[in-house]
Homo-oligomer: A and B are copies of this chain.
Amino acid sequence: MTRPVLNIGLIGTGFMGKTHVFGFASAPKVFDLPYELQLHTVADISDKAAYKAAKDFGFEHWTTNWRDLISNPEIDVIDITAPNALHKEMALAAIAAGKHVYCEKPLAPLAKDALEMADAAEAAGVKTQVGFNYLCNPMLRQAKAMIEAGALGEIRGYRGIHCEDYMADENGQYTFRHDPAGGGALADLGSHALATAEYLLGPITDVLGDCVTVIPSRPDGKGGHRDVTVDDVGRAFVRFANGAQGSIEGNWIATGRKMQHDFEVYGTKGALAFSQERFNELHFYSTEDPAGRRGFRRIEAGPDHDPYVRFCVAPGHQLGFNDLKAIEVAGFVHAIAGEYPEPFNFRAGLGIQKIVETIQSSSRKSAWEQVI
């Protein structure tokens, strides 16, 4: 019996576009997917980029008009890795055409846009996915399972950060990531910290924000400078619906840090500590270990941590970033087949956008705000 084909149309061929292609290539080898994935058509803004991507990535067709993908009845899934500002238009068109949509984060510059997108997708009955790939880590799944199984007791507190330094150079040019609508370190990186926090502990209900612009202007690429108003560091004190409290930070000027997506969560009976810098490890402390032998134990990813075993039958061999993307792709494909719920759909992406905007608003007002 052969699998039905799922035809993919990809928009955008940069960093994330390439990563998605890796995911499409690996996922069918690693997982027992309900569909055959077919790289149907790729779109980019120039002939050259689109042609090269088709050739390198193995797409059958290419185009410089992304609307060709939408209108092509053969294509089942529209995968959007184009700049943030275009997500909404593209996604709404795809949804209107009845296609499933896989969209890189952030879902849209503003929560109101994300809301429109989520509503449209649900009304159309298509499946959606937002690319919060760090959530696909087996060790995060393990952490969540341990929390839910009560290994930490009642959860009391959380501290989550996502710090990098890729914007630390003040001579780095102004980009779309500095755009007042949807830009900034909180939206870009803090959103990951928020997604992980909610993945593990459930909804964040209240925030008190502090968004700081440290580098007030950047070269505009034309010999001049352009003012920056978005945050280089965006953080918040937070409250969770489960009663826990904590803090979150997104930071793209943290010199020396490349992937400091870290958290520590503690409860009445234990704690977990994690760093994306060593994302194949999870550190667990239990008050139930015998006196004199307690300590954070470094759990290495292995076959006990689903779905690690699909990549490797031996422990300690480690997954890479692109493997997380393969897990993400697989989750979405299973959801399209109706086998599982969507792992992180537009509604979930909207949730993150809302918190980001509430933190930004709270920072402007210097007052606690409820996430609505």
Residues of B within 8 A of A291 (CB): 304
Decide yes or no whether A307 CB sits under 8 A from chain B.
no
Decide yes or no whether A9 CB sits under 8 A from chain B.
no
Decide yes or no whether A126 CB sits under 8 A from chain B.
no
> Do the beta carbons of A296 and B258 come within 8 Å of each other?
no
Expressed in whole angstroms, the Cα–Cα distance for A294 and B302 within the complex equals 10
Decide yes or no whether A146 CB sits under 8 A from chain B.
yes
> Do the beta carbons of B271 and A255 come within 8 Å of each other?
yes
> Do the beta carbons of A214 and B292 come within 8 Å of each other?
no
Nearest CB in chain B: distance from A136 CB, A = 13
Residues of B within 8 A of A279 (CB): 318
> Do the beta carbons of B314 and A322 come within 8 Å of each other?
no
Expressed in whole angstroms, the Cα–Cα distance for A168 and B270 within the complex equals 10
Decide yes or no whether A63 CB sits under 8 A from chain B.
no
Residues of B within 8 A of A161 (CB): 159
Decide yes or no whether A25 CB sits under 8 A from chain B.
yes
Of the listed residues A157, A254, A314, the one surrounded by the most CB atoms of chain B closer than 10 A to its CB is: A157
> Which of B233, B259, B320 is within 8 Å of A320, CB to CB?
B320
Looking at the complex, which of A76-84, A104-112, A115-123, A281-289 is the stretch in contact with chain B?
A281-289
Residues of B within 8 A of A302 (CB): 258
> Do the beta carbons of A29 and B25 come within 8 Å of each other?
yes
> Which of B156, B266, B312 is within 8 Å of A322, CB to CB?
B312
Expressed in whole angstroms, the Cα–Cα distance for A258 and B294 within the complex equals 11
Nearest CB in chain B: distance from A269 CB, A = 7
Residues of B within 8 A of A22 (CB): 26, 29-30, 311
Which A204-223 residues have a C-beta within 8 angstroms of B? 208, 210, 212, 214
> Which of B58, B235, B254, B293 is within 8 Å of A237, CB to CB?
B235
Decide yes or no whether A305 CB sits under 8 A from chain B.
yes
Expressed in whole angstroms, the Cα–Cα distance for A76 and B363 within the complex equals 52
> Do the beta carbons of A295 and B289 come within 8 Å of each other?
no
**Could you give 16 example pairs across A and B, Cβ below 8 Å?**
A15-B313, A22-B26, A22-B29, A25-B26, A210-B237, A235-B247, A254-B271, A256-B285, A259-B318, A279-B318, A283-B295, A318-B321, A320-B322, A323-B323, A366-B367, A367-B367
